[in-house]
């Protein structure tokens, strides 16, 4: 089945810094979503982005489908950005396959 790798596994930032999270996937995808799992465990949708670029406030994402990777950019990070960021992809199997996530810690 499709494989998803996220990097880095851990990231520690000072408030105000920018960061880039990467997601590589092994096959073509119909669906790619980025999620933020907050410290209370809730999974929050950030982007649906199987290709192209989207922006939502301080967050933006780019997926280059032909090269099988997606990037999530966080600018001017805040402590509330802390948590785990997951990339999940759907190949031909109609299920989302999740990467292991990037754990982000933003210190004040």
Partner 1 sequence: DSGVTQTPKHLITATGQRVTLRCSPRSGDLSVYWYQQSLDQGLQFLIHYYNGEERAKGNILERFSAQQFPDLHSELNLSSLELGDSALYFCASSVGPRGALNIQYFGAGTRLSVL
Give the footprint of partner 1 on this chain (CB under 8 A).
30-31, 33, 35, 41-45, 48, 50, 86, 88, 90, 93-98, 100-101
The smaller minimum CB distance to partner 1, of residues 87 and 106, is found at: 87
**Least distance in Å: CB of 56 to partner 1?**
14
Say how far apart CA 83 and CA 42 lie, in whole Å. 10
Distances (CA, A) of 62 to 3, 40, 66, 93: 19, 27, 12, 23
**Least distance in Å: CB of 77 to partner 1?**
23
**Least distance in Å: CB of 70 to partner 1?**
15
Give DSSP secondary structure letters for 19-52.
Answer: EEEEEEESS--SEEEEEEE-TT--EEEEEE-SSE
């Amino acid at each position: 089945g499709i494989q998803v790798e996220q990097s880095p596994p851990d990231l520690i930032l000072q408030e105000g810094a920018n960061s880039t999270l990467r997601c590589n996937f092994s096959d073509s995808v119909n669906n790619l979503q980025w999620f933020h799992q907050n410290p209370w465990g809730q999974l929050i949708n950030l982007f649906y982005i199987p290709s192209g670029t989207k922006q939502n406030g301080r967050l933006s994402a780019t997926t280059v489908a032909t090269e099988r990777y997606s990037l999530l950019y966080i600018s001017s990070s805040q402590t509330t950005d802390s948590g785990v960021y997951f990339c999940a992809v759907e190949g031909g199997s109609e299920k989302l396959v999740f990467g292991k996530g990037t754990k982000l810690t933003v210190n004040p």
